[in-house]
Structure 1
Amino acid sequence: MVPFLERINEILFAAVLIVSFSLLSYIILQNWRSDIVRALSVLLAGVIIAYSGDLLLARAQRPATIEFLGRAQWLGIVLVPAGYIHFANALLAFGNANAIAQRWRRSVYFAYLSSFIIFLLVVLGTNLVIHTGIPSGPIAQFQAGPLFWVYVIFFIIAMGTALLAILMVRRAALTPSQRRRLGYLGATFAAPGIGVFPFLLVASPSMLPVSVILMLQALASLIVIAMITVMTYSVAFQGVLIPERLIKQDFVRWWLYGPFVGIATILFIQAVPVMAQMLGLPAETLITFGVMVMTVLMPIFVTQVKPYLDALIYRQDHAEIDYLRNLPRSVFTRADLRTLLENSLVAICTPLQVKTGFVIAPGEDGFSIKAIWGSRREVRRLVSEHPIGDLIPRLEAMPYDASASLDSGSFLVVGSFCLLPLRSPDGMFLGAIGLEATTDQLRRNGGTSPEMRRMVTGLAHQIELALTTAQMQRQIFDALRGLAPEMQSLQRLSSRLEQTTPLTLATLDEDVVLHPEFSQLVKEALTQFWGGPKLAESPLIGLRSVRRVLAEQGGSPTQALQTVLRQAIANLRPDDQIDPSAQEWLLYNLLEGRFLRRQTVRDVAHRLAMSESDFYRKQRAAIEEVARQILLMEEHEYENSTGRR
Structure 2
Amino acid sequence: MARTDPLDLIIQINFVIVAALLIAAFSLLVYLLAYYFQSRSARGAAWLLASVSIVYLGDLVLFFVADPRSAEPWLRLQWLGIAIAPAAYAHLTDALLERTGSFSPWRRWAVRGAYALAFLWFLLALSSDLLVHDGTADGRAFHLWAGPLFPLFLIYFIGGVGWGIVNAWRVRQRTLISTHRRRMTYLALTMIAPAVGVFPYLLLAGRTLPAYPLVFWGMVGISNLFIGTMLFGMVYAVAYVDVLVPDRVVKQRWITYLLRGPVLATLVALVMFGVSRLSHALGLPLALLLPLAAVGTIVSYELLSDGIRPLFEWLFLRRDVSELARMRRLSEAMITARDLRQFLEGILALICETLRSPTGFVVRRTPEGIEPVAAFGDIAHASIEATLAEVEPSSNGPVRTDGFWVWPLRSRAEGILLGAIAVAAPPSEVSPEVLHEVLPVWIARAAAALEDRLIQERALQALEQVAEEARRLRWAEGEPSARSLIEHPEFITWVRDALAHYWGGPRLLQSPLLQLRVVQQAMEAHDGNPIRALRAVLAEAIERLRPDGERKLTAPEWLLYNLLELRFLQGRKVREIAQRLALSESDLYRKQRAAIEAVAMVLAEMERRAARSTEEEPSLPPRAPHPARGGGREIPPEEDGAPR
Report the TM-score, using the length of structure 1 for normalisation: 0.73
Tell me the alpha carbon deviations over residues 366-419 of structure 1, each in whole angstroms, 9 at most, x when there is no partner.
31211112x1xx21x226xx5x5xx26x74476623242x4xxx4443xx4455
* Residue 567 (structure 1) aligns with: 483
Check whether the contact 1:66–1:135 (CA below 8 A) recurs between aligned residues. no
Which of these residues, 445, 459, 473, is aligned with residue 476 of structure 1? 459
Contact kept? 1:36, 1:91, Cα under 8 Å = yes
CA gap of 1:124–1:332, structure 2 versus 1, over 3 A, is closer
- In 2: Cα distance, 1:133 partner to 1:333 partner: 64
Shift of 1:586: 5.6
Distance 1:489 1:52 in 2: 46
The corresponding residue for 2:171 is 169
- Which of 82, 86, 90 is the aligned partner of 2:91? 86
Please name the residue that 1:58 is paired with: 63
Report the counterpart of residue 613 of structure 2 in structure 1.
Answer: none
SS in 1 for 2:357: coil
Moved more, 211-220 or 196-205: 211-220
- Shift of the 147–321 alpha-carbon distance from structure 1 to 2, 3 Å rule, reads same
1:506 maps to none
TM-aligned CA distance change 1:603 to 1:369, over 3 Å: farther
Aligned to 1:423: 410
Question: What does residue range 391-430 of structure 1 map to in structure 2 within 5 Å?
Answer: 391=385, 395-396=388-389, 400-404=393-397, 406=398, 410-413=399-402, 416-417=403-404, 419-424=406-411, 426-430=414-418
C-alpha distance in 1 between matches for 2:214 and 2:293: 32
Residue 502 of structure 2 aligns with which residue? Answer: none
Asked if the contact 1:78/1:119 (under 8 Å) is kept, the reply is: yes
Relative to 1, partners in 2 of residues 1:198 and 1:400: Cα closer, same or farther, differing over 3 Å?
same
Task: Provide the C-alpha distance between the structure 2 equivalents of 1:349 and 1:206, rounded to a whole number of angstroms.
Answer: 88
Correspondence 1:345 to 2:328: no
Instruction: Pick from 111, 114, 129 the counterpart of residue 131 of structure 2.
Output: 129
- For 1:16, what is the secondary structure of its paired residue? helix
Alignment partner, residue 180 of structure 1: 182
Deviations for 1:104-123, whole angstroms, at most 9, x for unmatched residues?
11101111111122112211
1:194 aligns with 2:115: no
Q: Distance in 2 between matches of 1:256 and 1:189?
A: 23
Q: How does 1:434-583 map to 2 (within 5 A)?
A: 434-437=422-425, 445-447=428-430, 449=432, 451-486=434-469, 521-522=479-480, 565-572=481-488
Q: Specify the code of the residue in structure 2 equivalent to 1:382.
A: H
Q: 1:283 to 1:397 in 2, by over 3 A?
A: closer
The CA deviation at 1:593 is 8.5
Larger RCO: 1 or 2 (CA < 8 Å, sep 6+) = 1
C-alpha distance in 2 between matches for 1:116 and 1:211 = 35
Q: Is the 8 A contact 1:573 1:588 kept in 2?
A: no
Query: What SS does the aligned partner of 1:206 have?
Result: coil
Residue type at the aligned position of 1:400: P
- 1:121/1:128 contact within 8 Å kept: yes
Q: Any idea what the Cα deviations from partners look like across 1:243-270, whole Å, max 9, x if unmatched? A: 1112112212222222222222222233
Q: Summarize the Cα distance change of 1:24–1:478 in structure 2 as closer, same or farther, 3 Å threshold.
A: same
Q: What SS does the aligned partner of 1:242 have?
A: coil
Aligned counterparts of 1:468 and 1:273: Cα–Cα separation in 2: 58
Alpha-carbon distance in 1 for matches of 2:291, 2:34 = 33
Q: How far 1:199 sits from its partner (Å)?
A: 0.8
Q: 1:324 aligns with which of 316, 320, 327?
A: 327
Aligned letter for 1:233?
A: Y
1:240, 1:411 → 2: CA distance? 62
SS of match in other structure, 1:202: helix
Q: CA deviation at 1:153?
A: 1.2
Residue aligning to 1:304 = 307
SS of 1:182's equivalent in the other structure is helix
Task: Measure, in 1, the Cα distance between the counterparts of 2:471 and 2:42.
Answer: 23
Would the aligned equivalents of 2:72 and 2:135 in 1 still touch at CA under 8 Å? Answer: no
Q: Name the counterpart of 1:432.
A: 420
| Change over 3 Å in CA distance of 1:352–1:171 after alignment to 2 | same
Q: CA deviation at 1:233?
A: 0.9
Map Cα deviations across residues 451-494 of structure 1 (whole Å, 9 max, x no partner). Answer: 5245444443443333222222211221121222345678x8xx
Contact kept, 8 Å, 1:63 with 1:135, in 2: the verdict is yes
% identity of equivalent residues: 29
Distance 2:180 2:279 in 1: 51
Distance in 2 of aligned mates of 1:247 and 1:588: 40
**Equivalent position amino acid for 2:381 in 1:** L
Report the counterpart of residue 642 of structure 2 in structure 1: none
Cα deviation, residue 597, structure 1? 2.8
Which amino acid letter does the alignment assign opposite residue 211 of structure 1? L
User: Is the deviation greater in 29-38 or in 163-172?
Assistant: 163-172
Please say which of residues 173-182 and 598-607 is displaced more in the overlay. 598-607
Q: Does structure 1 residue 295 correspond to structure 2 residue 298?
A: yes
1:23 aligns with: 28
**1:220 match:** 223
CA contact (8 A) 2:365 2:418 kept: yes
Would the alpha carbon gap of residues 122 and 323 (structure 1) be closer, same or farther in structure 2, given more than 3 Å must change? same
Residue identity matched to 1:49: I
Q: Contact (CA 8 Å) 2:32, 2:42: kept in 1 or not?
A: yes
**Contact (CA 8 Å) 2:495, 2:513: kept in 1 or not?**
no
Letter aligned with residue 322 of structure 1: A
Tell me how far apart the structure 2 counterparts of residues 476 and 436 of structure 1 sit (CA, whole Å): 35
Query: Which of the pair has more CA radius of gyration?
Result: 2
Judge conservation of contact 1:569–1:588 (CA < 8 Å) in 2.
Answer: no
Show CA shifts across 1:211-254 (max 9, x none): 32222222221111111111111101111111111211221222
Q: Which amino acid aligns with 1:472?
A: I
- Answer whether contact 1:70 1:141 (CA < 8 A) is retained: yes
How much has 1:200 moved relative to structure 2? Answer: 0.9
Two-structure CA RMSD over aligned residues (Å) = 3.5
Q: Which letter does structure 2 place at the counterpart of 1:342?
A: E
Alignment match, 2:516: 595
2:48 aligned residue (43, 52, 77): 43
Is the CA contact 1:593–1:604 (under 8 Å) kept in the aligned structure 2? no
> Aligned equivalents of 2:332 and 2:489: distance in 1?
33
Question: 1:74 & 1:351 partners in 2: Cα distance?
Answer: 78
In 1, distance between residues paired with 2:157 and 2:193?
13
Match of 2:393, as an amino acid? Answer: Y
After TM superposition, the score normalised by the length of structure 2 is: 0.73
Q: Which runs of 5+ in 2 are unaligned?
A: 1-5, 500-510, 523-532, 543-563, 572-592, 605-644
Encode CA deviations 1:161-205: one digit per residue, 9 max, x unaligned.
111221122122222221121111111111111111011111122
- Residue type at the aligned position of 1:224: I
Structure 1 residues 45 and 449 mapped into 2: Cα distance closer, same or farther (>3 Å)? closer
Alpha carbons of structure 1 residues 586 and 210: separation in structure 2 relative to 1, 3 Å = farther
Write the letter of the residue equivalent to 2:18. F
- Relative distance call for 1:398 and 1:87 in structure 2 (3 A) is closer
Relative distance call for 1:311 and 1:136 in structure 2 (3 A) is: closer
Q: Following superposition of structure 1 onto structure 2, how do residues 355-370 of structure 1 map, counting pairs within 5 Å?
A: 355-363=358-366, 365-370=368-373
248-257 or 480-489, larger mean C-alpha shift:
480-489
Distance 1:230 1:62 in 2: 37
